[in-house]
Chain A
Amino acid sequence: MIDALLHAIPLVFAPMNILAMFIGLIAGLVVGCLPGLTVVTGLAVLIPLTFGLDPLFALGMMAGMYNGGSYGGAIPAILMRVPGTPASVATVLDGYKMTQQGKAAYALQVALLSGVIGSVLSSISLILLSPPLVSFSLLFGPIEYFWLGILGLATVSSLLGDDLPKGLIACGIGLLIGAVGQDISNGTERFTFGQLDLLDGFSAIVLLTGLFAVPPVLQIVEEAVKTGMSGDKLKLHRQGSALSQWRFFTPVWIRSSIIGIIIGILPGAGGSMSSFLAYNEAKRVARNPETFGHGNPEGVAASECGNGADNAASLIPALALGIPGSGVAAVILGGLLVHGLRPGPQLFREHPDIVYGFMLQFLATSFMLALVGGLAATRIFGQVLRLPRIVLAPVILLFVTIGVYSVNNSLFDLWVLLGVGLIGYVLERLDYPSAPIVLGLLLGPMIESQLRLALTISGGNTSALVSTPIAVILALLSAAILLTPAWRLFRQRRTAAA
């Protein structure tokens, strides 16, 4: 590992790759900053454009975009009460209050520094914890992968949305979409309607793009806000330094980072979960919890640090096991495949310099973010909010269309994009969460194929499914996660009755 790291250092800091990280970072700040655009959207648009580029150049852009985007989301959250990304929802609570109190610049600074600390710690854990996970992952055969898929699915259905039935329905929609295509074991075609284009099922990247990029665009058009924010509310000059108050923030940073990393490693959780949990924890241990929600900088720090710590950690299961831990990780997995890099243990064996290079790029872009964000971005990117959003909509749509067409050079995919985008918009308006759909369509085929492989290998003996310790542990964890909401409901009812 040390060898691979040393090997990767000169590659990561080659001038072209530094440029790539910088471009990605700036692009990430932009997509994060613009409400409606998420890092997933940015990556989905970016990946097709990286075809034919050097893998580390492409991956550097992705790492930069991931880290930049997670801070970018805090900017409109603090300035406008509009979370730029789902993960910055918890930042709104105290951040916008601080802006109203005239402390916008200070709030932005706290958010930046906290996010950077979280993502540095997360990158270090990605570098240190991935290798043991990789040797561990060879213990994973079809049986264990089957249960892992179940666990991922269980996590998302119980964690997402206040409305459990809607979360489950969304997940079911995902599973159904995932079932389309030819069965590889016997050649049967499912829901293909004789369409050659559907024989391999829907292209995951096309679906993801449709689901995440189109609904926000339609929403922008619908709202048709023609003017941006007036400039006099943007007070972006220095107001105190968060860096000099490191003693004050350190406990919050440590707790939030640990929460973010743990949530990040668990497939199916994700950034918004981390920031909410970190916020809750900070509020729980605070001596003055009543000040939270009224402009307490610790609230901003906890939310952004948890969010930043989630980033690199969510790639551990993605890189080591090939299991996307979040929507972003799923798109990054797609980006790796484009470059012929198949995630899983063999990735570390076959391309150690690229894997460790990618991890170092995460660390490097975290520091770069501190520099870029601290020096200029906070002031400059604030201005983006002045853009009439109605101008943004067609531009976003244009980029998405070009990106999706270039995935398979297929017109069929554009119709899929349009259709899925419209469906995604309707679902969003009906308050169906879109993340369970993604997990369903990504994990469904995995669960099915691994179950069939496991049963083929065991000769149809179903008791083989719980024949290894890992399988039993994963099965119990899945059951526990599925039953947690029921347990909570039960307790609530009892307290209400008493």
Chain B
Amino acid sequence: MIKRLSITAALASVLLMTGAARAEYPEKPIEMIVAFAPGGGTDVAARSIARYMEKYLGGNARIGVINKPGAGGEIGWTAVAQGKPDGYTIGFINAPAINALVVEGKTKFKMGDLQPIANLVYDPGVLVVPKSSSYGSLKDLIDAAKKASTPLVIGTSGASGSSEHIALLNFQRLADTKFTPAFFGGTAPVRQAVLGGHVPAATMNLSEALQIAREGNIKVIGVMSAERSAYLPDAPTFREAGYDVVVGASRGIAAPKGVPADVVAKLEKAIDQALKDPEYLDAAKKAEIPLQYLASNDFKAFLDRATTDLEATWKATPWK
């Protein structure tokens, strides 16, 4: 009897709370799930934007960052996709890594289980060579690769199936040659390998190559974006060399599917305002974070395109 009473009470309070949430979101702390360990790039991005989102959500909005690392992000992303769609569970998703996992078909969620809210960061991939390298351009690299008896080795900071690996697969198809990817599993080791000249070439994200490229310790011979980056205007793009390779890592915020439209709108607006906050902008510029805001609909279109592209690649060259 007491048990039943308490259940009724609990139900009543839940109903009351949802009612209140509808009226004045957010009424309680919002959990922002980060699928990577504290201190990593996504975690830092989440913790910094959370402070400014609180400011623009108004009232006493509070956002708690919860790290659920593991399985290349799958644990955290599953938690977002399977969360309660009440607006109090949101999380960072990283395309195209998340799309690749879904395309492989082993995840417990589909892209449709997520409600995209906004994209914040787009960090294009780059191909770099050691400073002493004889390859001055993509053309040199491809010529050398075609002449070589064994496929040229390219280090990547990711694992098998990472966006960089998939970019390499696309690049070798377009250039009609073959590379051997060497998986370093992290940015620091691959950076050290290029710096020390232990690999002939490597891929990483632009933001990770900026500092050492400016010091002249490595050469960026190709940027995988549609246009040259403002942070490194001297570096040519793959498109300029005639290869349509546009790949980058993005960081955006999503919620479980079924979140009320007004909550999505409110979060979307808060993110937009936070990204325009002068204090935040200043810090982001200093840290050279490649910001790229996409509103909910554009972000969804962006994610859909990434999924379609990857499905095509998966059919042609499954990466696992």
Partners in one complex: yes
User: Footprint of B on A, CB under 8 Å?
Assistant: 51-52, 138-143, 182-187, 196-197, 199-200, 322, 337-342, 344-346, 350, 408-410, 449, 453, 456-457, 459
Contacts of B195 in A (CB 8 A): 138, 345
Known A184-B183, A186-B320, A456-B180: A346·B67 in contact at CB below 8 Å: no
Contact residues in A for B75 (Cβ distance below 8 Å): 196-197, 410
Residue interface bits B102-117, CB-to-A below 8 A is 1, else 0: 0000000000000000
Are B159's CB and A187's CB within 8 A?
yes
Q: A196-B78, A338-B37 are in contact. Are A138 and B196 (CB under 8 A)?
A: yes
A184, A341, A459: the one within 8 Å of B185 (CB): A184
B residues neighboring A (CB under 8 Å): 37-40, 44, 47, 66-72, 74-75, 78, 150, 153, 159-161, 180, 182-186, 188-189, 191-193, 195-196, 198-199, 211, 319-320
* B183 in contact with A345 (CB, 8 Å): no
Instruction: Out of A182, A322, A337, name the residue touching B39 (CB < 8 Å).
Output: A337
In Å, the complex CA distance between A51 and B66 comes to 12
Listed by A's residue number, 7 A-B pairs whose Cβ atoms lie within 8 Å are A51-B38, A140-B192, A184-B185, A186-B160, A187-B319, A322-B188, A346-B191
- Is the pair B196, A453 in contact by a Cβ cutoff of 8 Å? no
> A138 touching B192 by the CB < 8 A rule?
yes
Across-interface contacts of B320 in A (CB, < 8 A): 186-187
A146 CA to B132 CA, complexed, in Å = 25
A-B pair count, CB < 8 Å, reads 97
A14 to B320, CA, bound (A): 51
Partner of A409, one of B40, B44, B67, B150: B67
Q: Which residue of A lies closest to B69 (CB)?
A: A408
- Considering the chains assembled together, what is the distance between the CA atoms of A409 and B78 in angstroms? 14
Residue among B71, B184, B191 with max Cβ neighbours from chain A (10 Å):
B71
- Chain B residues whose C-beta falls within 8 Å of the C-beta of A141 in the assembled complex: 193, 196, 198
Other than the known A187-B319, A456-B182, what 18 A-B pairs have Cβ atoms closer than 8 Å? A51-B38, A139-B196, A141-B193, A187-B159, A187-B160, A196-B78, A199-B70, A200-B71, A322-B188, A338-B38, A345-B192, A408-B69, A408-B70, A410-B68, A453-B182, A456-B180, A457-B182, A459-B180
Is there contact, CB below 8 Å, between B198 and A184? no
Give the nearest-CB partner of A347 in chain B: B188
B-side contacts of A456, CB under 8 Å: 153, 180, 182
Known: A141-B193, A340-B44, A457-B153. A197 touches B37 (CB 8 A): no
B160 touches A184 (CB 8 A): yes
Contacts of B182 in A (CB 8 A): 453, 456-457
Contacts of B67 in A (CB 8 A): 408-409
Decide yes or no: A409 and B183 within 8 Å by CB, A186-B320, A338-B37, A346-B188 being known contacts.
no
* Contact A340 B39, beta carbon cutoff 8 Å: yes
Question: Is B193 touching A142 in the complex (CB atoms < 8 A)?
Answer: yes
Q: How far is the CA of A456 from the CA of B160 in the complex (A)?
A: 14
CA separation between A199 and B74, bound complex, in Å? 9
Candidate in B37, B74, B211 with the most chain A CB atoms within 10 angstroms: B37
Residue of A nearest to B180 (CB): A456
Task: Select A344's contact among B161, B180, B192, beta carbons within 8 Å.
Answer: B192
Chain B residues near A200: list those with CB within 8 A: 69-72
Tell me, rounded to whole Å, the shortest Cβ–Cβ distance linking A465 to chain B.
13
Task: Please give, as numbers and ranges, the residues of chain B lying within 8 Å of A408 by CB-CB distance.
Answer: 37, 67-70
Q: Does A185 contact B193, Cβ atoms closer than 8 Å? A: no
- Whether A199 and B72, one on each chain, are in contact in the complex, defined by CB atoms closer than 8 angstroms, is yes
User: A463 to chain B: closest CB distance in Å?
Assistant: 15
Contacts of A52 in B (CB 8 A): 38, 47
In contact, A338 and B39 (Cβ under 8 angstroms): yes
Of A185, A344, A350, which one neighbours B183 at CB under 8 angstroms? A185
Task: List chain B residues, Cβ under 8 A from A409.
Answer: 66-68
CB distance from B179 to the nearest CB of A (A): 11
Closest Cβ–Cβ distance, residue A263 to chain B (whole Å) = 27
Q: Which B residues are in CB contact (< 8 Å) with A143? A: 198
Residues on A with beta carbons closer than 8 Å to the beta carbon of B198: 141-143, 457
Please, how many angstroms separate the alpha-carbon atoms of A344 and B211 in the complex? 16
Q: How far is the CA of A340 from the CA of B39 in the complex (A)?
A: 4
A344 contact set on B, CB distance < 8 A: 188-189, 192
Residue of A nearest to B185 (CB): A184
Q: How far does the Cβ of B266 sit from chain A's closest Cβ, in whole Å?
A: 26
Shortest distance between the CB of A194 and any CB in chain B (Å): 10
Question: In the bound complex, do residue A459 and residue B192 qualify as a contact, i.e. CB atoms below 8 Å apart?
Answer: no
Q: A184-B159, A184-B183, A346-B188 are in contact. Are A457 and B71 (CB under 8 A)?
A: no
Nearest-neighbour CB distance to chain A for B137, whole angstroms, equals 22
CB distance A140 to B160 under 8 Å? no
Q: How far is the CA of A346 from the CA of B96 in the complex (A)?
A: 27
CA separation between A184 and B155, bound complex, in Å?
13
Asked if A197 and B70 sit within 8 Å, CB to CB, the answer is yes
Which of A138, A342, A457 makes the CB contact (< 8 A) with B188? A342
Q: Which chain A residue lies CB-closest to B78?
A: A196
B195 closest partner in A (C-beta)? A138
Instruction: Using CB atoms, name the residue of chain B closest to A194.
Output: B106
A459 B150 Cβ-Cβ under 8 A: yes
A286 CB, min distance to chain B CBs, angstroms: 47
Give the residues in chain B near A345, CB-CB below 8 Å: 192, 195
Contacting pair B196 A140 (CB below 8 A): yes
A-chain residues with CB within 8 Å of residue B153 when the two chains form the complex: 456-457, 459
In angstroms, Cα B148 to Cα A426, docked, is 56
Contacts of B74 in A (CB 8 A): 196, 199
Cβ–Cβ < 8 Å partners of A410 in chain B: 68, 70, 75
Across the interface, A453 reaches (CB within 8 A) one of B39, B44, B150, B184, namely B184
A137 to chain B, nearest CB (A): 8
Q: Which residues of chain A are near B40, meaning CB under 8 Å?
A: 340
Query: Which partner residue on chain B sits nearest A186 by CB separation?
Result: B160
Most buried by B among A143, A196, A344: A196
Complex contact B196–A187 (CB within 8 A): no
Most chain-A Cβ atoms within 10 A of its Cβ — which of B39, B69, B74? B39
With beta carbons under 8 angstroms apart, the residue of A185, A199, A338, A449 that contacts B71 is A199
Name the A residues within 8 Å of B72 (CB-CB): 182, 199-200
Q: Which chain A residues lie closer than 8 Å to B188 at the CB level?
A: 322, 342, 344, 346
Cβ of B105 to closest chain A Cβ, rounded Å: 13
Q: In the complex, what's the smallest C-beta–C-beta distance from A446 to chain B, in angstroms?
A: 10
* Bound form: Cα–Cα A408–B189 in Å: 24
CA distance A409 to B36 in the complex (A): 11
Measured CA separation A345–B192 after assembly (Å): 8
Using Cβ atoms and an 8 Å threshold, which residues of chain B touch A184? Answer: 159-160, 183, 185
* A-B CB proximity, top 8 nearest: A141-B198, A199-B71, A340-B39, A184-B159, A187-B320, A342-B188, A138-B196, A459-B150
Say how far A206's CB is from chain B's closest CB, in angstroms.
12
Alpha-carbon separation in the docked complex, A142 to B70 (Å): 25
In the assembled complex, the Cα of A457 lies from the Cα of B151 at a distance in Å of 10
Q: Complex formed: what's the CA distance from A272 to B131 in Å?
A: 45
